[in-house]
Amino acid sequence: MAKQAEIVSVWRAGGQVSMAVRVDEGGKLGSVEYIGSLVDDEAFAALTTAQKKAALVGACKATRDAALGPIAAALPSMTGVVTL
C-alpha cells in the first residue's frame, strides 16, 4: 500500500548511503521512520541525482514492506515503554 513519505535525512557513512523517511501509518502506529541503505560504490556514484533518490526511496520502501509484513499477520498488540 503506497503512502506519501517525507524525506527526513540523507547521509553517507561506512561505505553506505542512507535515507530516512517518515510515514504517517495511521492508527496505533502513527508516524514511523524507515531507513533504507545502499552501497556507496561506483555504480551508485554513476547515477543521476534523480536515480539516486529513486534507488534510496526503493530501499526505504523495502524496509517498510519488511517491517509491515509481520503486522499484517495479526500479531498480538504490543504496547508499553521499553529501553533501547
- For the chain, which residues make up each domain, given as ranges? 5-71
**pLDDT at residue 55 tops 80:** yes
User: CA 81, CA 62: separation in Å to the nearest integer?
Assistant: 27
pLDDT of residue 51: 96
Residue given cell 500479531 in the structure block? 75
pTM of this prediction?
0.78
**Residue 30 or 47, more confident:** 47
User: CA 29, CA 47: separation in Å to the nearest integer?
Assistant: 34
Mean pLDDT of 17-40: 91
pLDDT of residue 27: 79
Q: Name the helix (H) or strand (E) containing 51.
A: helix 49-72
Return the ∠ at Cα 7 (arms to 14 and 74), rounded to 5°.
Answer: 95
First to last CA, the chain: 29
